[in-house]
Amino acid sequence: MSDIVIWPSKVLSEVSKPVDHLSKFQIEPITIEEIAKAMFTVMRAHKGVGLSAIQIGVPLRLFVMDCSGISQLEKNEDNIQPAEMVCINPEIIQLIGKPIEMTEGCLSFPGVFEKVMRHPEVIFKCEDLTGEVKTWQLRGIEA
């Protein structure tokens, strides 16, 4: 759980389980907070803005994101949240707008950047670290 899982590792093809299945995947007791903290550490060490738990070998429905390193101009234009986010058991509610072409990279595919079609905005819900269900509407790189 200390580094990025790189393609073509079979782990990346596994279907992640809801977080309440945590005990099935860990030999030693570990909390979601500890997993999220490790994910932020690994993500920042690799200069990423988002990371899924499966990318560190933990097949759980959990991702972290921190776009605070994005330039202030981009933040204002895209309404980017200025704080880190921990998203547990996320579910997309609505995709908004006509898909647009964006260039993206993935930490599990080092050095690879591809053009992909993405909706410019998304509404989704997830639990935070306290178990509270929150609904988010995000745009741009965050979406």
The residue that leads in pLDDT, 79 or 90, is: 90
d(CA 18, CA 66): 22
Query: Which pTM does this prediction carry?
Result: 0.83
pLDDT in the model for residue 143: 74
Spatial CA neighbour of 34 closest among 123, 100, 119, 129: 129
CB 25 within 8 A of CB 14: no
User: Could you give phi then psi for residue 106, rounded to 5 degrees?
Assistant: -145, 130
pLDDT on residue 20: 80
Tell me the pLDDT tens digit for each residue of 18-77.
988 544 455 456 788 889 999 999 999 998 989 999 999 999 999 999 877 664 445 445
Report long-range pairs for 67-74 (Cβ below 8 Å, ≥24 apart). Answer: 67/141, 67/142, 70/141, 74/140, 74/141
| CA–CA dist 26, 85 (Å, integer) | 23
Q: Give the burial string for 23-61 (b: 16+ CB within 10 Å, else e).
A: eeeeeeeeebeebbebbbebbeeeebbbbbbbbbbbbbb
The owner of tokens 């200025």 is: 82
Distance between CA 117 and CA 136 in Å, rounded?
21
100-105 and 62-65 beta bridge pairing: unpaired
